[in-house]
Amino acid sequence: MAKPKTVFTCQSCGFKSPRWQGQCPECQTWHSFVEETEVQPTPGMRQQAPPVSTMRLNEIPDVENYRYPSRFAELDRVLGGGIVPGSVILLGGEPGIGKSTLLLQLLGALPQLPALYASGEESLTQIKLRANRLDLSLEHIHFANTTDTAAIVSRLKADKPKIAIIDSIQTLQSETLTGAAGSVGQIRESASALIEIAKQEEIAIVIVGHVTKSGEIAGPKVLEHMVDVVLYLEGDRLQHYRVLRANKNRFGDISEVGLFEMKTTGLQAISDPGNMFVASSEATSGAVRTITLEGSRPLLVELQALTVPSNFGYPKRTTSGLPLNRLQLLIAVLIRRASLRLHEQDVYASIVGGLSLSESALDLALCLSISSSLLDQRFPSDMIALGEISLSGALLPTPRTDLRIQEAKRLGFTRALVPQSEYDKIVRSQKGFSLIAVRSISEALAKLNWLPN
Ligand SMILES: Nc1ncnc2c1ncn2[C@@H]1O[C@H](COP(=O)(O)OP(=O)(O)OP(=O)(O)O)[C@@H](O)[C@H]1O
Ligand SMILES: [Mg+2]
C-alpha cells in the first residue's frame, strides 16, 4: 500500500488542500483547516476491476412491506408514510431540542421491529432514565454506549436489526482516520460505513447530526447528499412547540411538516393546532393573524411587530421566525407605496410560538402588523389577512386561498382581507364570512381606515 499522505481539510465545507491555509478559498471560513491522513488508492486498481454487474427492472425482485409505518403519525406524515427499509435518515436540530427523545419515542412506536440504539453521548443509565420518564416499552431494543464506528458496523452485521439509531454522527470515530471525532473526515468516513451496511443488510438507520450556529448540520455538505432523508427538528427551546421538517426525501414529498408539543412525557403530536400560535384573542397594536400553509395543512399564526423611533442614524430591523431580507423589502415597499414614515423607526417582527416561516403569503399580514404598530391602530380580532406583496405594492395571489378561508371560518373568524384576484376566484359571499378584496397595500390600509387624513 502506498504511504499515507496528509492533507488539510476545511472543517466547514470539506475542501482539501496540500498546505495549511488561514482562510478556506472555497467557503471563506477562517481557521477551519485540520490536518488529516489520506490513504491513496493503489495505482492500476481501476484496470483490474471486473465489469459491474447490471440488472433489468423486471429482474429486480419486488419488495413487500415497502415502509414500516409507526404509530407516530406526525413522523410518518413527514416521512411520506413511514420508514423505508434500508434507508438512511439524518436528523438535525439544536442542542436540547428533543432529537434523542423523538428517536426513542419512534422506537417505542415500532414495537415489532428489532432495533439497535447506539449512543456516544449518553450513558446507558441516562437512556434508561429517559425511557422510564417517557413510559416506553423498549424490551426489544439493544442499547449500546459507544463511539466506535467499526464496532457498531460489526454489531449491525451480526444482529441484522431492522432499524438502528446512531446518536450522534459527531461522536463517532473511525480507526482508519486520524483527526478528532466530529471532524469532516471522521464524519464522512463514519457516515459512508453506516450507509454501506444499511444498504447491504436493509437496515434503516437514523443518524443524529448536530447543527452549527447558522443552523446547518455540522460536517461536510456532502453528508446531506449521501443520506436518503434529511430531517430537521426546529422550534424555540424556551417554548414547547417543535416542528419536524424534511429538507430532502428520496421517498416522499418534502412539503409536509410534523407538529409536536414537548411535554414531560415526551413529544406529543399536535393534530389540531387551532389557536396554538396566537398570543391572545384580543386585538392589540402590532398583532395581525393570518393562515399559513405547512404542507397541505393550514395553520393559524399571529405576526407581531413593534416600531420605535431609532436612536441612531441607521435604523435597526430584527426578525424572529421570519426572513430578515423580506422584512427589509416590505419596509421599503411601505415607505414608497404607502408613504409610511418608517425611515427613522427601528422595526422588530416576530411570529408567536417560535415557528419559523418564509411563505410569501404572509407579506400582507407582516406589512399590516408593522403599520398597526406605527399608526397605533388595532387589527380586528375577527379578521385575517392574506396576500403576497410585489415591489409595486400590489397584492399577488396566494396558493390555496379556499383552504385557508375554510380554516379561518372553522376557528371562528368572520372576515378576511384577500387579493382581488383571489376574491374573483373563490365564492364571494360565504355564509357568515365576508371577503374584502384589496388590490394593493395602500388600499388595504384605506379599507381598514388606518390612513391619516
Ligand atoms: N423531566 C422533563 N420534563 C419535561 N421536559 C423535559 C424533561 N427532561 C427533558 N425534557 C425536555 O427534553 C429536552 C431534551 O431532549 P433531548 O435530550 O432529546 O434533546 P437532544 O436534541 O437530543 O439534545 P442533545 O443535542 O443535547 O443531545 C429538554 O430540552 C427539555 O425540553
Ligand atoms: Mg441527544
Ligand 1 centroid to residue 268 C-alpha, Å:
13
- Residue 372 contacts by C-beta under 8 Å, 6 or more apart in sequence? 285, 286, 287, 288, 305, 378, 379, 450
What is the pLDDT of the chain when averaged over all its residues? 89
Nearest ligand by distance to the CA of 91: 1
- pLDDT of the residue at 40: 62
φ and ψ at residue 347, rounded to 5 degrees: -125, 125
* Chain centroid to CA 302: 20
Output Rg (C-alpha) for the chain, integer angstroms. 26
φ and ψ at residue 262, rounded to 5 degrees: -85, 120
Which atom of ligand 1 lies at the shortest distance from residue 130's CA?
Answer: 8
- Residue 317 contacts by C-beta under 8 Å, 6 or more apart in sequence? 324, 327, 328, 331, 346, 347, 348, 349
pLDDT digits (tens, 9 = 90+) for 242-267: 989 999 999 888 888 888 999 999 99
Which atom of ligand 1 lies at the shortest distance from residue 93's CA?
Answer: 21
- List C-alpha distances in Å: 238 to 96, 258, 349: 10, 19, 18
Give 408 or 294, the one with higher predicted confidence: 408
- DSSP secondary-structure letter at 58? G
Q: Which of 15-19, 132-136, 253-257, 365-369 has the highest mean pLDDT?
A: 365-369
- pLDDT of the residue at 369: 97
- pLDDT of the residue at 232: 93
Ligand 1 centroid to residue 292 C-alpha, Å:
28
| Residues belonging to the chain | 453
Instruction: For ligand 1, pick from 262, 263, 265, 268 the residue to mutate: most ligand atoms within 8 Å of CB.
Output: 262
Q: Confidence class of residue 62 from pLDDT cuts 50, 70 and 90?
A: confident
Q: Which of 93-97, 219-223, 325-329 has the highest mean pLDDT?
A: 325-329
Q: At what angle do helices 184-201 and 149-159 cross, to 10 degrees?
A: 10
**Quick check: 395 and 364 in contact, CB under 8 A?**
yes
Ligand 1 centroid to residue 352 C-alpha, Å:
22
pLDDT digits (tens, 9 = 90+) for 282-324: 888 999 999 999 878 899 999 999 999 998 888 999 999 899 9
Ligand 2 centroid to residue 191 C-alpha, Å:
18
- Residue 213 contacts by C-beta under 8 Å, 6 or more apart in sequence? none
**Quick check: 152 and 168 in contact, CB under 8 A?**
no
φ and ψ at residue 70, rounded to 5 degrees: -100, 170
Instruction: Tell me the HSE value of 387 on the side-chain side, using a 13 A CA sphere.
Output: 29
Mean per-residue pLDDT, 145-149: 94
Residue with CA closest to ligand 1 atom 14: 96
Question: For the chain, what percent of residues have pLDDT higher than 70?
Answer: 95
pLDDT digits (tens, 9 = 90+) for 32-51: 888 887 766 565 556 678 88
Q: Confidence class of residue 429 from pLDDT cuts 50, 70 and 90?
A: low
Beta strands in 79-159 (DSSP E): 88-93, 115-119, 141-145
Ligand 2 centroid to residue 167 C-alpha, Å:
7
Give 2 or 185, the one with higher predicted confidence: 185
Decide the pairing of beta strands 88-93 and 204-210. parallel
**Quick check: 120 and 169 in contact, CB under 8 A?**
no
Cβ burial of 298 (10 Å; 0-12, 13-18, 19+) is buried
Beta strands in 146-265 (DSSP E): 163-167, 204-210, 229-234, 241-249, 257-263
Q: Which three cell numbers stand for residue 150?
A: 467499526
Q: Provide the 3-class DSSP secondary structure of residue 290.
A: strand
* Pocket lined around ligand 1, Cβ cut-off 6 Å: 93, 95-101, 121, 133, 237, 262, 264
Nearest ligand by distance to the CA of 241: 1
